C-alpha cells in the first residue's frame, strides 16, 4: 500500500535521529495547510489553576455530540472513597452508562484521570494516569494505565479528570490550552491517523515556539483502531534530547477503538511549564527527601539488580526463559534455544544508551527505552528510519517468542507498527500466537487466511496481517476481533473443535493474556483470571513468589497474596504512580525486613509521600481499604454490566496445564513426578492420554479450591459477589450499588 502522507513523512521523518527537529518541520506550508482546513466547532474558556494538596477539585466534561463543555465538581466524598485515577474514572463512568450500554453507544465515555500524587517530579514513576471506558473486547469497564505527559499536564492545567461522552459526526481534535484557559473542539479533515506522524504534526501545530514543545502532549490512536476491537491510545511527550516525539500506551481493552468510534482524531493539551512544587503539597520537604533516597538507590543498586536504566523491562527475557516462564508458541512452552537472539544484551546494544529515558520529569529509573535508527522493511512507511519506544518485556515476549519470532529487528518493526497503528502489543502478541497455533493444527490454512502462511516465526506474514487489519482488509479484519470472538467464528465455520479452541485460546472475560507462562503457578493463574478487567499482570504478578521462591505453599497463603497485591497495585492506579520503582529496585537490607517480597521500605515511602501531599497520615491497612473500596466497586460494576461472577473467572486450560501431547512430553519428567508426589499414583501404569486427563482433573480442581479461598478472603460469596456486610464495611453501600448485588444474594 502506498503511503498517502508521503509528503508529510518526507519532512517529518518521525524519529529520524540524524536529522534536526527544526529541519524536519521547516516546511510550514504543509502544517499551515492542515491547520487552515480546521473548522472551529466550539470554543470555551476556563480559569487555569494549579492543584492544592494534589487536587484541583474539578473535572472537565466534554460532550462531542452536543458540544457541551462544563466543569464537574470533585467532592470530598469522591476524594474519600474513590481517591483519583481509576477510582474517579469508574465513578464518572458508572453515572454515564446503564446496564445495557454497549461500547459503541454514545453514552459510553472515555475518562482520563491522573490521581492526587501524579506529577510529582521528585520521586521516580509519578507521571501515570488511568484511562477508563466500557471495553469493546470485554463489554465491562476497562482500566489502562499510561505514562507520558498528558495526565500531569491536565492536572496542572486545572483538572482532576477529563470525561468525554457522545459521538461526533465529524473528525475532531479537542485542544485544551492550560496556559491561556481555552478549550477548542475543531473539525480536522486532513491530518493522518497514525500516531507517529499525527503526534508530531500536532505538537508543532499547537506549540507556541520551540521551547513550548515540552508543554504539549497528544492523545491519539491510529488506523488499526478504526478497523479492529483492539485499538489502544498513544500518549505523547517531546523528547528534547532526541528532538522528537515519544509515545507511551494505554493499551488494554480496546479504548483506542472507542476513541476512533467517537471520531476523535486527537486530544491535545498545552500545559504550563512544569515546576517541582506544582502539586502544592502540605510537606514538600518530606517528598523531596524521600525522592532523593530512592534516586540514590537507583544509581547505586540498579546496575546489579534489574538494570532498568539500560534495558527497561526487557531485562527479564532470559530470566523468564531460564525458569520455563517465557511464552513460546502460544504459551505451549516456557523456553526456546533461540531466546538469546531477543535477550537483554541484544536490547542493551540496540537501545540508545547516551540519553536519559524517563517518560516523566524526574524519573531516574529511566526505563522508557528507545531503539533509534530502525529502517522499516514493510508497510506504508517502508524505508523510513524510525525510533521504536521499547521493546518492553511484554513486547519482546508477545511479539517475539510467543509467535516463534527470534529476529530482533522484526520484533522492533512489529512494535513500531503496533504503536503507530494504535494496536495493543500484548493483545496482538497473544492473538497472533493463537492464530499461528490454529495454523499449526490445521484449524487454519492458506485458503482460510487469504494466502498468509501463518507459521511459527514468519514475521513477514505477521506484519502483513497487521497491515491488513490497519487497512480493514482480508483475514486481518477477523483477527482484529480478538481471540474470544475468533474462537466462536472458527467453531461456527466448522474449522476446529470448540473444546480445543477454548483450551488454547488465551483469553478471559474477552481480554487476551499478558506474556507469562502460568502453568506451574497456581497463584498466577488466579492472578490472571480473577482480575476485574481480564488477565493483565498489573494486578497480581506472583509467579516468582509462588513457583520459584515457594513462599505461598497453601491455598490460604495464595489467597492472602491475591488479596494484598491486587489492592496494593490498585493503589498505584488511584494515585498516579508507576509500580516499577516499588519493586524493580530494592534496598540493600530488604532481605532482612519482615515480608521482604512487599519491599516494605518502599511501601513506607509511598505512605509518607501520601501524607506529605494531603496532610493526613495513613497506615498500610488504610491504604488497603482505600483500594478495596474501588476494587469491590469495580467488581459490582462488572456485575451490573453482565459479568463479574464465578463463571467469568474461569481460566483457559492452557494457562493451567498441558493441552497437547507435545506440551506434556516436553516436560514429561516434571508432570510424571507430580503424578507420583501430588496425586499418589504411578504414571508408569498409565497411557499418555490417561496421565494428561489426570493432570487436567487435578489442576482444575486446585483452581476451584483456590477460587473458594480467594473469594472468602475478599469477603465475597462463593459466586464471587461482594457481600452486603463487606460493601457496608467499605462505605460503598450506595442504594444503586446495593440494587445490583441484592438479587444475587437472596
Q: DSSP letter string over 43-86?
A: EEE------BTTB-SEEEEEETTTTEEEEEE--HHHHHHH-STH
pLDDT, residue 389, reads 87
pLDDT tens, residue by residue, 497-536: 999 999 999 999 999 999 999 999 999 999 999 999 999 9
Grid coordinates belonging to 445: 490454512
| CB contact set of 356 (below 8 Å; sequence gap of 6+) | 241, 364, 366
C-alpha cell at 168: 461526533
DSSP state of 544: I
Average pLDDT over every residue of 111-128: 96
Bridging pattern class, strands 370-375 and 233-239: unpaired
| Predicted local distance difference test score (pLDDT) of residue 1 | 38
Sorting pLDDT into bands at 50, 70 and 90, what band is 729? very high
Instruction: Decide: residue 396, CB within 10 A, 0-12 exposed, 13-18 middle, 19+ buried.
Output: buried
Instruction: Please give the Cα distance from 565 to 119 (Å, whole number).
Output: 24
Look at the block and give the residue holding cell 488499526: 224
Q: How far apart are CA 163 and CA 311, in angstroms?
A: 35
The pLDDT assigned to 242 comes to 86
pLDDT tens digit sequence for 56-92: 999 999 999 999 999 999 999 999 999 999 999 999 9
CA 482 – CA 13 distance, rounded (Å): 32
CB atoms within 10 A of CB 698: 17
Q: What is the pLDDT of residue 390?
A: 79
C-alpha cell at 276: 517541582
Residue 11 banded pLDDT, cuts 50, 70, 90 = very low
How far is Cα 563 from Cα 561, in angstroms, rounded to an integer?
Answer: 5
Spell 531-564 as b/e; 16+ CB within 10 A means b. bbbbbbbbbbbbbebbbeeebbeebeebbebbbb
Q: What's the angle, vertex CA 223, arms to CA 218 and CA 226, rounded to 5?
A: 105
Give the pLDDT confidence score for residue 356 in this predicted structure.
Answer: 76
Using 50, 70 and 90 to split pLDDT, how confident is the model at 24? very low
Model pTM score:
0.95
Mean per-residue pLDDT for 3-13? 38
> What does the pLDDT look like over 338-396, one tens digit per residue?
999 999 999 999 998 877 788 899 898 888 888 999 999 999 999 999 999 878 999 99
CA separation for the pair 46, 56 (Å, rounded): 13
Q: For residue range 151-166, what is the model confidence (pLDDT) as tens digits?
A: 999 999 999 999 999 9
C-alpha cell at 533: 478487567
The residues pairing with 131 across neighbouring beta strands, listed in sequence order, are 112, 144
Provide the pLDDT for residue 12.
37
For residue 17, pLDDT over 90 is answered with no
Strand pairing class (264-270; 172-177): parallel
pLDDT score for 10: 36
Q: Cβ distance 535 to 513 under 8 Å?
A: yes
pLDDT value, residue 8: 38
pLDDT in tens, 393-412: 999 999 999 999 999 999 99
Q: Residue 87: enclosing H or E segment and its boundaries?
A: helix 86-96
Q: Is 742 exposed, middle or buried (0-12, 13-18, 19+ CB in 10 A)?
A: exposed
How is residue 70 written as a grid cell?
Answer: 462544563
Q: What is the pLDDT of residue 243?
A: 87
DSSP secondary structure code for residue 687 in this structure: -
The answer for residues whose C-beta is within 8 angstroms of residue 300's C-beta and 6 or more apart is none
Tell me the average pLDDT across 120-126. Answer: 94
Q: Is the pLDDT of residue 14 over 60?
A: no
The pLDDT value given to residue 487: 98
Residues 6+ apart with CB under 8 A from 499: none
Angle (nearest 5°) at CA 618 between 615 and 622: 140
Contacts 24+ apart (CB under 8 A), 447-451: 448/475, 448/495, 449/475, 450/474, 450/475
Q: Phi first, then psi: give them for residue 640, nearest 5 degrees.
A: -60, -35
Write the pLDDT tens digit of every residue in 578-633: 999 999 999 999 999 999 999 999 999 999 999 999 999 999 999 999 999 999 99
Nearest Cα to 59, choosing from 137, 19, 6, 114?
114
Cβ contacts of residue 525 below 8 Å, gap of 6+? 518, 651, 655, 656, 703, 706
> Which residue(s) pair with 68 in the sheet?
63
pLDDT class for 561, splitting at 50, 70, 90?
very high
Q: Is a pLDDT exceeding 80 seen at residue 4?
A: no
Partner residues linked to 269 by β-bridges? 176, 217
Contacts of 533 (CB under 8 A, 6+ apart): 135, 138, 140, 141, 142, 143, 252, 253, 509, 511, 539, 634
Contacts 24+ apart (CB under 8 A), 490-499: 490/438, 490/443, 490/444, 495/438, 495/443, 495/444, 495/448, 496/438, 496/441, 496/443
Which pLDDT score is estimated for 326? Answer: 97
The answer to whether residues 249 and 536 touch, using CB atoms and an 8 Å cutoff, is no
- Residue partners of 580: CB distance under 8 A and separation at least 6: 125, 308, 313, 365, 367
More confident call, 241 vs 333: 333
pLDDT band at 3 (very low <50, low <70, confident <90, very high): very low
Residue 311 or residue 28, greater confidence: 311
C-alpha–C-alpha distance, residues 613 and 417, integer Å: 40
In 592-718, which ranges are E strands? none
Percent over 70 (pLDDT), the chain: 96
Which residues on adjacent β-strands are paired with residue 231? 423
H/E element holding 474?
Answer: helix 474-479
DSSP annotation of 208 reads S
pLDDT tens digits, residue range 438-459? 999 999 999 999 999 999 999 9
* H helix and E strand count, the chain: 30, 17
pLDDT tens readout for residues 683-695: 999 999 999 999 9
The answer to whether the CB of 65 falls within 8 A of the CB of 167 is: yes
Residue 141 DSSP symbol: E
Assigned C-alpha cell, 668: 514429561
What would the grid cell of residue 319 be? 530470566
Q: Indicate whether 652 pLDDT > 50.
A: yes
Report whether 359 contacts 147 (CB < 8 A): yes
Does residue 22 carry a pLDDT above 60?
no
Distances (CA, A) of 228 to 110, 126, 221, 469, 488: 18, 32, 12, 7, 17
SS3 649: helix
Q: Give pLDDT, residue 353.
A: 85
* Residue 617: count of CB within 10 angstroms of its CB: 11
Amino acid at each position: 500500500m502506498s503511503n498517502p502522507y508521503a509528503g508529510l513523512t518526507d519532512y517529518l521523518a518521525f524519529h529520524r535521529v540524524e536529522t534536526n527537529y527544526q529541519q524536519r518541520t521547516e516546511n510550514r506550508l504543509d502544517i499551515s495547510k492542515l491547520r487552515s482546513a480546521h473548522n472551529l466547532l466550539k470554543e470555551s474558556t476556563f480559569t487555569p489553576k494549579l492543584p492544592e494538596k494534589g487536587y484541583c477539585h474539578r473535572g472537565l466534561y466534554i460532550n462531542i455530540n452536543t458540544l457541551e463543555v462544563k466543569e464537574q465538581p470533585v467532592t470530598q466524598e469522591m476524594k474519600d472513597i474513590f481517591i483519583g485515577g481509576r477510582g474517579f474514572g469508574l465513578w464518572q463512568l458508572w453515572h454515564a452508562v446503564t446496564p445495557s450500554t454497549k461500547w459503541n453507544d454514545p453514552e459510553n465515555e472515555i475518562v482520563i484521570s491522573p490521581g492526587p500524587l501524579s506529577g510529582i517530579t521528585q520521586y521516580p514513576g509519578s507521571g501515570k494516569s488511568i484511562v477508563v471506558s466500557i471495553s469493546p473486547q470485554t463489554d465491562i469497564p476497562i482500566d489502562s494505565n499510561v505514562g507520558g505527559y498528558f495526565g500531569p499536564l491536565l492536572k496542572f492545567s486545572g483538572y482532576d479528570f477529563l470525561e468525554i461522552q457522545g459521538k461526533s459526526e465529524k473528525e475532531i481534535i479537542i485542544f485544551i490550552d492550560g496556559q491561556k484557559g481555552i478549550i477548542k473542539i475543531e473539525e480536522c479533515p486532513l491530518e493522518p491517523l497514525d500516531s507517529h506522524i499525527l503526534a508530531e504534526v500536532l505538537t508543532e501545530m499547537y506549540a507556541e515556539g520551540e521551547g513550548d514543545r515540552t508543554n504539549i502532549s497528544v492523545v491519539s490512536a491510529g488506523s488499526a483502531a478504526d478497523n479492529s476491537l483492539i485499538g489502544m491510545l498513544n500518549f505523547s511527550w517531546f523528547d528534547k534530547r532526541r528532538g522528537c516525539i515519544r509515545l507511551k500506551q494505554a493499551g488494554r481493552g480496546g479504548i483506542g477503538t472507542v476513541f476512533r468510534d467517537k471520531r476523535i482524531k486527537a486530544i491535545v493539551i498545552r500545559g504550563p511549564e512544569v515546576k517541582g512544587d506544582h502539586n502544592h503539597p502540605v510537606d514538600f520537604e518530606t517528598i523531596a527527601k524521600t525522592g532523593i533516597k530512592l534516586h540514590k538507590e537507583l544509581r547505586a543498586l540498579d546496575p546489579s539488580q534489574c538494570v532498568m536504566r539500560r534495558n527497561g523491562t526487557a531485562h527479564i527475557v532470559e530470566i523468564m526463559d531460564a525458569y520455563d516462564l517465557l511464552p513460546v508458541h502460544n504459551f505451549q512452552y516456557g523456553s526456546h534455544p533461540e531466546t538469546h537472539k531477543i535477550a537483554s544484551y541484544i536490547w542493551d546494544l540496540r537501545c540508545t544508551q547516551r540519553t536519559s529515558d524517563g517518560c516523566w520529569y524526574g524519573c531516574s529509573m529511566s526505563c522508557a527505552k528507545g531503539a533509534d535508527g530502525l529502517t522499516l522493511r514493510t508497510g506504508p512507511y517502508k524505508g523510513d528510519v524510525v525510533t521504536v519506544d521499547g521493546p518492553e518485556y511484554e513486547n519482546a515476549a508477545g511479539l517475539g517468542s510467543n509467535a516463534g519470532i527470534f529476529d530482533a529487528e522484526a520484533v522492533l518493526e512489529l512494535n513500531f507498527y503496533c504503536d503507530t497503528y494504535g494496536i495493543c502489543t500484548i493483545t496482538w502478541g497473544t492473538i497472533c500466537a493463537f492464530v499461528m497455533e490454529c495454523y499449526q493444527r490445521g484449524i487454519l490454512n492458506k485458503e482460510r487466511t487469504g494466502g498468509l502462511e501463518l507459521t511459527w516465526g514468519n514475521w513477514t506474514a505477521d506484519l502483513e496481517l497487521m497491515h491488513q487489519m490497519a487497512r480493514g482488509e482480508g483475514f486481518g479484519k477477523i483477527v482484529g476481533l480478538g481471540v474470544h470472538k475468533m474462537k466462536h467464528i472458527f467453531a461456527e465455520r466448522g474449522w476446529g473443535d470448540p473444546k480445543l479452541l477454548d483450551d488454547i485460546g488465551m483469553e478471559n472475560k474477552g481480554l487476551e493474556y499478558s506474556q507469562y507462562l502460568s502453568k506451574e503457578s497456581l497463584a498466577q493463574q488466579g492472578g490472571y483470571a480473577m482480575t476485574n478487567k481480564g488477565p493483565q499482570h498489573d494486578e497480581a504478578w506472583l509467579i516468582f513468589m509462588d513457583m520459584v521462591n515457594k513462599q505461598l505453599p497453601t491455598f490460604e497463603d495464595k489467597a492472602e497474596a491475591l488479596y494484598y497485591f491486587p489492592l496494593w497495585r490498585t493503589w498505584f492506579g488511584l494515585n498516579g504512580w508507576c509500580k516499577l520503582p516499588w519493586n524493580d529496585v530494592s534496598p540493600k537490607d530488604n532481605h532482612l525486613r519482615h515480608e521482604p517480597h512487599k519491599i516494605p521500605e518502599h511501601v513506607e515511602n509511598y505512605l509518607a509521600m501520601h501524607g506529605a501531599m494531603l496532610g493526613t497520615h495513613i497506615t498500610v491497612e488504610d491504604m488497603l481499604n482505600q483500594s478495596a473500596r474501588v476494587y469491590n466497586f469495580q467488581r459490582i460494576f462488572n456485575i451490573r454490566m453482565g459479568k463479574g461472577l464465578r463463571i467469568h473467572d474461569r481460566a483457559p486450560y492452557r494457562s493451567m496445564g498441558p493441552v497437547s501431547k507435545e506440551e506434556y512430553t516436553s516436560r514429561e519428567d516434571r508432570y510424571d513426578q507430580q503424578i507420583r508426589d501430588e496425586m499418589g499414583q504411578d504414571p508408569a501404569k498409565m497411557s499418555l492420554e490417561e496421565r494428561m486427563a489426570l493432570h487436567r482433573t487435578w489442576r482444575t480442581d486446585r483452581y476451584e479450591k483456590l477460587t473458594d479461598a480467594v473469594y472468602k478472603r475478599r469477603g465475597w460469596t462463593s459466586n464471587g459477589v461482594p457481600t452486603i456486610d463487606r460493601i457496608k464495611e467499605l462505605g460503598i453501600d450506595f442504594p444503586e450499588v446495593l440494587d445490583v448485588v441484592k438479587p444475587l444474594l437472596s
